[in-house]
Amino acid sequence: MSAVGSARPLQGITLMVAAVACFAALDTQTKIAGLAVPMVMALWLRYLVQAALTGAVLLPARGRALLRTRRPLLQGARAVLMLMSSACAFYSLQVLPVGEFTAVVSLTPLAMALAAATVLGERVSAVRWLCLLAGFAGALVVIRPDAGLQPALLLPLATVLCNAGYQLLTSVLTRADGAGTTHFYTGCVATLLLSAALPFAWTSRLTLGHWGLLAGMALAGTAGHLFLVLAYARAPVSLLTPYLYLQIAFAMLGGWLAFAYLPDTWSVLGVALIAASGLAGTVAAARERQLPGRAVGAA
């Protein structure tokens, strides 16, 4: 039986909610730090901390087993996609509010559901398709795009593509290599790539507050992606994707706490629609899992 086949769905859902809360905290801190800290420097520290913490925790217990991977090319591809996603997010947050950026990125679940059905062969029922589309509609209510596509929205759309790619690879790699190995390789590969550009981006003109933000970004990013890989090791993509929409609510909370930005009525309605679609999708998925179990129990 596969890792997902023997999954613990409730644990996977809890870990996914924790992951998106961390990502919202990361985005809020990134928007603040991005005004003074170069992107390469900020991301280098973020991925260095991920590699160092993962290695410090797992290497003593697992030793060289942590370094063994059946899919080295996929591990590299996941790291590159995550790094590209981080870079696009960093620049997007300099021109868009945290909530609006997160709403655009919330299109990721729809892209993932399409890929999960076609690439991974996961069954997605008609009810859950409707829930995902309702979440997409809620995201559009939050964004409320005008007649023309604003150039600033292109970067978050690029983030959507990168997010969908690395999260699908996460689902594959956690079954092939495990969550710890996947998390460690991503941190190491991204750190090595950023180190090549670090001499051209380093600055020493940072305050103690800036270093605190960088530390917070590193911890939030490391924890968020660790929760993400653990979630996908416990539940299938199609079950977890509706919960990615909760990041909009967390992002709006961060925008209010950090920038005193309050969403308008339409934004609140959009978030409510997103949350309702996630809840309905969860109920539908639970019923689908129970039906085969009842049939077996009666046999």
Cβ burial of 204 (10 Å; 0-12, 13-18, 19+) is exposed
Q: Is residue 69 part of a domain?
A: yes
pTM across the whole model: 0.75
Within a domain: 4: no
Question: Average pLDDT for residues 129-141, to the nearest whole number?
Answer: 81
The whole-angstrom separation of Cα 92 and Cα 159 is 9
pLDDT of 220 strictly over 80: yes
Q: Has residue 128 been placed in a domain?
A: yes
Q: Does residue 296 have a pLDDT over 90?
A: no
Report if residue 216 sits inside a domain.
Answer: yes
Give dist(CA 78, CA 43) in Å, integer.
16
Q: Which run of H or of E encompasses 24?
A: helix 9-33
- First-to-last alpha carbon distance for the chain, in angstroms, is 21
Query: Model confidence over 142-179: pLDDT tens digits?
Result: 777 664 556 666 788 888 889 888 888 887 888 888 88
Radius of gyration of the chain (CA): 19
Q: Does residue 147 sit within a domain?
A: yes
CA 295 to chain centre: 36
Residues contacting residue 110 through CB under 8 Å, at least 6 positions apart: 132, 133, 135, 136
Q: Is 258 part of a structural domain of the chain?
A: yes
Parent domain of 64: 9-298
What band does 297 get if pLDDT is binned at 50, 70 and 90?
very low
What total number of domains does the chain contain? 1
pLDDT (tens digit per residue) in 237-262? 777 877 877 888 898 888 888 888 87
Residue 190 and residue 85 in contact, taking contact as beta carbons nearer than 8 Å: no
Q: What are the tokens at 57?
A: 């925790």
* pLDDT one-digit tens code per residue, 56-89: 988 898 888 899 999 999 999 999 999 999 999 8
Q: pLDDT tens digit string along 169-184?
A: 887 888 888 888 998 9
For residues 77-91, b (16+ Cβ closer than 10 Å) or e, as one string? bbbbbbbbbbbbbbb
Q: From CA 195, how far away is CA 199, in angstroms rounded?
A: 8
Within-domain flag for 213: yes
Q: Is 3 domain-assigned?
A: no
Residues 6+ apart with CB under 8 A from 167: 108, 112, 228, 232, 237
Q: What is the predicted pLDDT for the residue at 3?
A: 44
**Structural tokens at position 36:** 């003074």
pLDDT tops 70 at residue 133? yes
List the Cα angle 260/213/248 in 5-degree steps: 45
Instruction: Report the pLDDT value the prediction gives residue 20, as an integer from 0 to 100.
Output: 93
